[in-house]
Amino acid sequence: MSDHVSIDRDRLGRDLYQLIVDLYPVCRSITGNGVRESLARIQKIVPLDVHEVPSGTAVFDWTVPREWNIRGATIKNSRGDTVLDFDDCNLHVVNYSAPVSRKMRLDELKSHLHTLPEHPDWIPYRTSYYHETWGFCMSHRQLEALPDDEYEIHIDSTLEDGHLTYGELYIRGESDDEVLISTHICHPSLCNDNLSGVAVATLLAEHVSSTPRRYSYRFVFVPATIGPITWLAQNEERARRIRHGLVLACVGDPGQPTYKRSRRGDAEIDRAVEHVLAHTAGGYTVEDFSPYGYDERQYCSPGFDLPVGCFMRTPHGRFPEYHTSADNLDFVTPESLADSFCKVASVLDVLERNRRYRNLNPRCEPQLGRRGLYDSVGGKQLTDDDRMALLWVLNQSDGGHDLLGIAERSGLPFERIWWAAEALLAEHLLEPAPQAR
Ligand code: ZN
């Protein structure tokens, strides 16, 4: 995968953004028809397999919950006027609310209303997956405008035995070793968290499918927490083939990229992401692993300890729009989406080409001039950096150091180190070393 540089970023940004626009109105949750509908839309782009796991299925310490679906919800005043309607915004209902139909005074209703006084025009996003309740979310201004009255509340939802639905795309490569890309798909009308991850993962899957590859790739679109737990419980053996992995979340806001390392901290994926961030434009932040955040928590639990990091822009909870109606189509930008895509594609590109080699002329330096490797190679005038790259690769290729490690130690970009290795291979000065596990 070396053609990422030729990607048309403007078009890519528009395509990513358009996919978010398309998925934005759907009311998703950790189960139910919103997830199915979202996966069906993604299937128009890549041939996802859709898996249905029955409610009640034991998955490690958890149980697949009942399926939640909602058709509508309203609050009406005593004159019968609708003062709040789920059809206007699917954040208006606490996600996973039990069905309810009754009348009550404002005082009693207030214990079921959620607002954000510090952002009086925004609607909060609230869930209650594992504790049965019901509730409404509205802007604080809307609440303050409600007079004391008797209100008729109605939530037309169902919580019944059904299924947990997730999407999976396996793209076979030369090797059985796998790269995992995982994103959550359970939030209703919220853009950065999590439609940005869904959009980037979808077009990345399309990109990977169309590119020659060494690794096999597995893209999973799962509800947060219970989704990866379910996937891992049902694929315990297969999970051991995962050599590198990334969770994608919050990748569309204008903030700079943030990478959260895997639990191992120094896995090849950690090194690859940090290298790409250091050698591409723009600032970035790297954070150590912590057992909080997105689905890396499950992939990095000690019984799996998979090399899976999390690629984000501004992390969850560190932008005020997080989990509110302000995480909308204005908050994510085509430029940020395209930048996230290109950086992750570059990481995959590094993983694909990162190898260990052995110097076939290890006793003192080979004579580069005699082999036409000193001034120009293949018509290309060599720069000082090119010559340094050749010397670094020759010096470090003892079978123990990979090209990424040589790039890190030399301070040169991976691209140049890889070029040097290819030139030395062509002159029979290197041979591939057995790949370490
Ligand atoms: Zn979230």
Q: What is the C-alpha to C-alpha distance for residues 418 and 365, in angstroms, rounded to an integer? A: 19
Torsion (CA) 309, 310, 316, 319 in degrees, nearest 10: 120
- Residue 374 structure tokens: 């000193």
Asked if 115 and 140 touch (Cβ cutoff 8 Å), the reply is yes
Measured over the CA atoms of residue 30, residue 200, residue 274 and residue 257, the dihedral's sign is negative
Alpha carbon of 122 to ligand 1 centroid (Å): 16
Alpha carbon of 426 to ligand 1 centroid (Å): 50
Tell me, what's the pLDDT at 374? 83
Q: 243 by DSSP, 3-state: which? A: strand
Alpha carbon of 126 to ligand 1 centroid (Å): 10
Q: What is the C-alpha to C-alpha distance for residues 220 and 215, in angstroms, rounded to an integer? A: 16
> Domains plus CATH for the chain?
9-65+163-353 (3.40.630.10), 67-160 (3.50.30.90), 356-432 (1.10.10.10)
Alpha carbon of 166 to ligand 1 centroid (Å): 17
Query: pLDDT, tens digit, for every residue of 190-201?
Result: 999 999 999 999
Q: What is the C-alpha to C-alpha distance for residues 107 and 25, in angstroms, rounded to an integer? A: 32
- In terms of C-beta density within 10 A (0-12 exposed, 13-18 middle, 19 or more buried), how is residue 77 classed? middle
Alpha carbon of 22 to ligand 1 centroid (Å): 19
Tell me, what's the pLDDT at 63? 98
pTM: 0.96
Bridge partners of 101, per DSSP, are: 154
Asked if 250 and 196 touch (Cβ cutoff 8 Å), the reply is yes
Cα–Cα–Cα angle for 220, 59, 37, nearest 5°?
40
Q: How many C-alpha atoms does 92 have within 13 Å on its Cβ side?
A: 21
Alpha carbon of 200 to ligand 1 centroid (Å): 16
Alpha carbon of 124 to ligand 1 centroid (Å): 12
Alpha carbon of 21 to ligand 1 centroid (Å): 18
Bridge partners of 357, per DSSP, are: 432
- Residue 59 structure tokens: 């998955």
How far does Cα 233 stand from its chain's mean position? 20
Beta strand ranges found along 77-215 (DSSP E): 82-85, 100-105, 113-114, 136-137, 150-160, 163-171, 178-184
Tell me, what's the pLDDT at 1? 37
Find, among 394, 390, 396, the residue nearest to 377 by Cα. Answer: 390
Q: What mean pLDDT, rounded, does the chain reach?
A: 96
Alpha carbon of 91 to ligand 1 centroid (Å): 13
Find, among 282, 271, 325, the residue nearest to 92 by Cα. Answer: 325
Measured between alpha carbons, how far is residue 203 from residues 26, 228, 302 in Å? 19, 21, 31
Alpha carbon of 1 to ligand 1 centroid (Å): 31
Alpha carbon of 252 to ligand 1 centroid (Å): 14
Q: 74 by DSSP, 3-state: which? A: strand
Alpha carbon of 193 to ligand 1 centroid (Å): 5
Burial profile 200-220: b = 16 or more Cβ within 10 angstroms, e = fewer: bbbbbbbbbeebebbbbbbbb
Alpha carbon of 224 to ligand 1 centroid (Å): 8
Tell me, what's the pLDDT at 436? 61
Alpha carbon of 249 to ligand 1 centroid (Å): 9
Tell me, what's the pLDDT at 4? 44
- Residue 64 structure tokens: 């697949």
Tell me, what's the pLDDT at 2? 42
Report the 3 state secondary structure along 110-157: HCCEECCCCCCCCCECCECCCCCCCCEECCHHHHHCCCCCEEEEEEEE
Q: Which DSSP category does 4 fall into?
A: G
Tell me, what's the pLDDT at 222? 98
Q: What is the C-alpha to C-alpha distance for residues 254 and 203, in angstroms, rounded to an integer? A: 20
Q: What is the C-alpha to C-alpha distance for residues 35 and 39, in angstroms, rounded to an integer? A: 6
Alpha carbon of 81 to ligand 1 centroid (Å): 33
Find, among 183, 186, 222, 178, the residue nearest to 200 by Cα. Answer: 183
Alpha carbon of 150 to ligand 1 centroid (Å): 34
- At which residue do the structure tokens 């096999």 appear? 216
Find, among 141, 135, 106, the residue nearest to 122 by Cα. Answer: 141
In the chain, which residues have pLDDT < 50? 1-5
Beta strand ranges found along 283-340 (DSSP E): 285-287, 308-312
H helices, E strands: number in the chain: 12, 21
Q: 26 by DSSP, 3-state: which? A: coil
Query: pLDDT, tens digit, for every residue of 295-341?
Result: 999 999 999 999 999 999 999 999 999 999 999 999 999 999 999 99
Alpha carbon of 206 to ligand 1 centroid (Å): 25
Cα–Cα–Cα angle for 207, 209, 211, nearest 5°?
70
Alpha carbon of 194 to ligand 1 centroid (Å): 7
The CA R_g of the chain, rounded to the nearest whole Å, is 25
Instruction: Tell whether omega for the bond before 194 is within 30 degrees of 0, i.e. cis.
Output: yes
